[in-house]
Amino acid sequence: MATQNPATPRSLDDVYTDAGLIDPAAPAPKRPNRRGELTRERIVQAAIECFSEYGYTRTRVSDITHRAKTAQGNFYRHFTDLDDVFLAAMHTGLLELSEATSRKATTSGELEALIEVNITYLHAYSRHRHILRLLREAAAASANEGFQQLWLKLREDFISRTRRWLQKLHDRGEIGETDLDLLAESLGCMTEQMAYVHVGLPASTPKRERIDELGRALGEVWFRALPPPVTAPENR
């Protein structure tokens, strides 16, 4: 059985555009000088800390600028509003998750490869767990429907890549007949919920050994969920 290798994901900018969070027709912002880049980076880091500490709905622009030690005027030179900086704060974490779910495993054997991919995913989630957890909050609480669409489209991309992988296994005769759409959805929901509940919600970041344990459990369940190929009856 071949190692999981879903198709290359769409760029995050494409996903943001589809969710209505960025306007592809808008002129590209001017590239800031080095001083401006440093100010922007400081604002984004302060936003990550504030959103993580106060939550999506309770964070204010003044909280971010106070922590970044900069004026609100500097904030609005780089971002239009809180949703704009929240999108920037999530970007690195979402990019890592996307890369984690589309990477080639280096381990031989389907079971170990699935375990490796799931462990990689959970470690990527853990590095950005506070801000990634808040995407659900924004999807549920924000007046900006774009965040709900973003959450749904990120799930859709992950499940679609899993569906294509399952189809390849089926076409090669490596798994049997089943509802591939439902199987891909089930596997995706399980992985997402495991990351959210066991990595995102705890008061402290789980230890590396615990994340490895969770990833192994996910990989084993993924492997066992694959329907065995139908073997032809022996001629008598």
Per domain, the residue ranges of the chain are: 12-225
Token pair 């994340």 is found at 211
Ranges 28-32, 40-44, 83-87, 137-141: which has the least confidence: 28-32
Taking only the tens place, the pLDDT of each residue in 118-132 is 999 999 999 999 999
Integer CA distances (angstroms), 166 to 1, 6, 102, 108, 149, in order: 11, 9, 14, 18, 25
**Confidence tier at 6 by pLDDT (50, 70, 90):** very low
Q: Is 27 a residue whose pLDDT tops 80? A: no
Write out the two tokens for 23: 């306007």
Taking only the tens place, the pLDDT of each residue in 129-156 is 999 999 988 998 888 899 999 999 989 9
Distance CA 158, CA 36 (A): 35
Report the chain's C-alpha Rg in angstroms: 21
CATH number of 12-225: 1.10.357.10
**Mean of pLDDT over the chain:** 88
**Confidence tier at 234 by pLDDT (50, 70, 90):** low
Give Dmax (Cα) for the chain: 84
Taking only the tens place, the pLDDT of each residue in 62-85 is 999 999 999 999 999 999 999 999
235 or 86, greater pLDDT: 86
To the nearest 10 degrees (0 to 180), the angle between helices 129-141 and 110-127 is: 80
Distance CA 32, CA 36 (A): 5
pLDDT at residue 4, rounded to an integer = 47
pTM for the full model?
0.83
